[in-house]
Chain A
Amino acid sequence: MENGQPAIRLDHVSKSFEGRKVLDDVSFQINHGQAFCLLGRSGTGKSVTLKLMIGLLTPDRGEIFIDGIKIQTADAKKLSEARKKVGFLFQGAALFDSISVAENVAFPLRRHTNKSDKEIRDIVHEKLEEVELGQEGKKMPSELSGGMRKRVGLARAMALDPGILLIDEPSSGLDRITASEIYQLLLKLKKKQKVTLVVVTHDVTGARKFGDEFAVLDKGKIAGCGSVDELAHSENSLVRELALGSET
Chain B
Amino acid sequence: MIVSGFAFGVVLALQTRASMQKFGAAAMIPQAVSLGLFRDVGPLIAALLLSGRVGAGIGAELAGMRVTEQIDALESLAVDSFKYLVVTRVVACVLALPILTTLLNFSGLAGGMMSEMFASHMSMQLFMNDAFGPMDWSDYIPSTAKTVVFGFIIGTVSCYLGYTASGGATGVGRASTRSVVFSSLLVILSEVLLVKMILFWFP
Residues of A within 8 A of B72 (CB): 51, 56, 90, 94
Q: Is A107 an interface position by the 8 A CB rule?
A: yes
Summed over the interface, the residue pairs from A and B with CB atoms below 8 Å come to a total of 47
Q: Is A1 an interface position by the 8 A CB rule?
A: no
Q: Is A108 an interface position by the 8 A CB rule?
A: yes
Determine, out of A79-87, A174-182, A196-204, A205-213, the stretch whose residues face the partner at the interface.
A79-87
Interchain CA distance A80-B78 in the complex, whole Å: 5
Contact of B76 among A56, A97, A111 (CB under 8 A): A56
- Chain A stretch 45-103: residues in CB contact (< 8 A) with chain B: 51, 54-56, 76, 79-81, 83-84, 86-88, 90-92, 94-97
Residues of B within 8 A of A84 (CB): 78
Residues of A within 8 A of B73 (CB): 88, 90, 94-96
Interchain CA distance A54-B73 in the complex, whole Å: 11
Q: Is A192 an interface position by the 8 A CB rule?
A: no
- Chain B stretch 78-114: residues in CB contact (< 8 A) with chain A: 78-80
Q: Is the CB of A86 within 8 A of B76?
A: yes
Residues of A within 8 A of B68 (CB): 92, 94, 97
Interchain CA distance A55-B81 in the complex, whole Å: 13
| Chain A nearest CB, measured from B12 CB (Å) | 38
| Chain B nearest CB, measured from A14 CB (Å) | 21
Interchain CA distance A208-B79 in the complex, whole Å: 34
Interchain CA distance A198-B70 in the complex, whole Å: 20
Q: Is the CB of B79 within 8 A of A111?
A: yes
Interchain CA distance A214-B118 in the complex, whole Å: 82
| Chain B nearest CB, measured from A54 CB (Å) | 6
Q: Is the CB of B77 within 8 A of A83?
A: yes
Interchain CA distance A209-B33 in the complex, whole Å: 76
Interchain CA distance A76-B83 in the complex, whole Å: 13
Contact of A94 among B70, B78, B79, B80 (CB under 8 A): B70
Q: Is the CB of B69 within 8 A of A90?
A: yes
| Chain A nearest CB, measured from B130 CB (Å) | 48
| Chain B nearest CB, measured from A231 CB (Å) | 29
| Chain A nearest CB, measured from B18 CB (Å) | 47
Residue of chain B at shortest CB distance from A82:
B78
Q: Is the CB of A111 within 8 A of B75?
A: no
Q: Is the CB of A88 within 8 A of B78?
A: no
Q: Is A118 an interface position by the 8 A CB rule?
A: no
Q: Is the CB of B78 within 8 A of A96?
A: no
Q: Is the CB of B76 within 8 A of A107?
A: no
Q: Is the CB of B77 within 8 A of A94?
A: no
Interchain CA distance A90-B78 in the complex, whole Å: 15
Q: Is the CB of A111 within 8 A of B69?
A: no
Q: Is A112 an interface position by the 8 A CB rule?
A: yes
Interchain CA distance A97-B75 in the complex, whole Å: 16
Residues of A within 8 A of B75 (CB): 54-56, 83
Interchain CA distance A92-B72 in the complex, whole Å: 12
Residues of B within 8 A of A80 (CB): 78
Q: A90-B76, A94-B73, A108-B77 are in contact. List 5 more A-B contacts (CB 8 A).
A: A90-B69, A92-B68, A94-B70, A95-B73, A97-B64
Subset of 24 A-B contacts with CB under 8 Å: A51-B72, A54-B75, A56-B72, A56-B75, A56-B76, A76-B80, A79-B78, A81-B78, A83-B78, A84-B78, A87-B76, A90-B72, A92-B69, A94-B68, A94-B69, A94-B72, A94-B73, A95-B73, A97-B68, A107-B77, A111-B77, A111-B78, A112-B78, A156-B77
Closest 5 pairs between A and B when the two form their complex, measured CB to CB: A94-B73, A88-B76, A83-B78, A94-B69, A80-B78
